[in-house]
Structure formats: structure tokens, C-alpha cells
Structure 1
């Protein structure tokens, strides 16, 4: 798939409801926070960045990242809607996010957490250079880290 087809766009009053309605499979729902909750978190926490994931003219997903320090950013939310899964869009969206986050010269590390049973996420992040660090402090999610090459 052509990388130029996938873009990360601001969340606006014109697309936030559609982002909240993006569907997941029943099996995926317990592994991901809702987009509605994520948008609410971002509205009340300065620095949280939210993006609509668009492929061509279609809204296909959602992403949110949070600065942990000047050197580290954490992707807290990342989803591709069920009808658009399996087409390589997640990989292209992740590449776009890495480029955008890495544009800040101070950022050296990018981390992501995912449900330990989510094999699709595990494979996707590993393909992009994320290395598993073990379970998070709560022992619930797998933490993976990407060192940004400068």
C-alpha cells in the first residue's frame, strides 16, 4: 500500500464523533480503551496529542500519544477500525506517527504498551523496531521501546 495514502490528521468537531464510533471486533474491545475515553483524557491533559488516521478519504483509525519526559513519548492509544484491518494501514499509520514524533529533536525514545494477548500488536511493533521490556508497573500491559536513531 502506498504510504502517501495514510495521513494523521487533527481531531476536530467535524470528525470526533466518527472517531468515537470506529468499530472493533468483540475480541478486541477488552484490549483497547475506547476512543471516546481517550478524547476525554486528551481534552483535560495538556500535551496529549490525538490524531485521526485517514486512508485516502476514509477515516480508518485513531491514535494518541503522551510526553513522558522531554526525551520519551508514549503511544497510549492506537487502533485501526475493524473494516480496515489487515490492509497494512496500521503499519503505515505507525510509520507516520514515528516520523511526526521523531521530528522533535529532543525525543530519543518512543514507547508503547499493549495487552500481552494481542499478538497482532506484538508483531506490528516488533516489525517497526520496538523491543519488549516486560510488563508495566501494574503487571497488565506489555511495554515495548523504540530507540530513535539521530
Structure 2
């Protein structure tokens, strides 16, 4: 497990670096660009973005949406192609879930992913996400994590 993974606020000092991060070409169908995610975070009041840092360098991004007082939907989760397969994403998701568990009244975290993505289902299942079936547009798999009531 890599050390020095942190989640940090997105601000004027890191948004350009975050916008430049990329995934591999074969992953582009699975995740929107960071530029689009940052625009959503800036203009949709229910959205929150966090930069993923490794050794004081921005290497990824989360975007989530407060769907209700009890449910958060993770809309985006990406790690730059040069920093994948090092355990950074696993540690970052663990940090995000720790942060979300501290949110008063939050009982559910959901995530959608392309069912053609061979790594997504086992990765999210390892955190306790359970597949619920296809989303309302029948495009992505919906998975849900139940949080204990605090």
C-alpha cells in the first residue's frame, strides 16, 4: 500500500494540474474528463471535488454529488495513467469513504460504472459495494454501499 496518499481541496493552486491528468485511451469511455468534472463541481452546488495526491503531487480526482441528506453518489473517480497500478486508487477510495462516514446522517454511498470495465466490479465489491443492477438509463451498473447509522 503506497504511503503519502491524501485527499485535498481543489483550489486555484491545483485545478490546472488536475485538468491535465489523463487516463489510458482504453479507459476514456469509462470516465469524463477532469475539466468537465471541475466545471460540474464549480457550478452544481450539490457536487464536491477532491484532488487525490501522492507524495505531494496531484494524481487523481473524485467528484461526488449529495443526492439526498442520506445518500451520496460518487460521479467521478480517476487516477492519472502514470500513477495507476500502484495502490493509489485503493487507498484514495478508502480515504474518501472514511471522510463520507463522518458525514452526519449519511447512510448510503452509490457508484455507477461501465459493466464492460473488467476491474470495476471486484474493486468496488472489495469495499463492500453491492451491485443493484443497471441504472435507470440501462447504461451503467449501479452499486451501493450501506453505511452504519451513526
- TM over 0.5, shorter chain: yes
Unpaired segments of 5 or more residues in structure 1? none
Deviation, structure 1 residue 47: 2.4
CA distance in 1, matches of 2:54, 2:88: 8
Deviation, structure 1 residue 135: 0.8
Tell me which residue corresponds to 1:48: 47
Question: Are 1:12 and 2:11 counterparts?
Answer: yes
CA RMSD of aligned residues (A): 1.1
CA distance in 2, matches of 1:137, 1:103: 29
Runs of 4+ that moved beyond 2 A: none
Tell me which residue corresponds to 1:145: 144
Deviation string, structure 1 residues 56-114 (Cα, Å, up to 9, x no partner): 21211000111111110010000011111111111100000001111112000000011
Tell me which residue corresponds to 2:73: 74
Question: Are 1:33 and 2:37 counterparts?
Answer: no
CA distance in 2, matches of 1:89, 1:9: 14
TM-score (norm 1): 0.95
Deviation, structure 1 residue 55: 1.1
Work out the number of aligned pairs and report it: 149
CA distance in 2, matches of 1:23, 1:30: 12
Deviation string, structure 1 residues 41-60 (Cα, Å, up to 9, x no partner): 11111121100000121211
Tell me which residue corresponds to 2:87: 88
CA distance in 1, matches of 2:52, 2:62: 7
CA distance in 2, matches of 1:58, 1:43: 22
Unpaired segments of 5 or more residues in structure 2? none
Deviation string, structure 1 residues 16-38 (Cα, Å, up to 9, x no partner): 11111112111001111111011
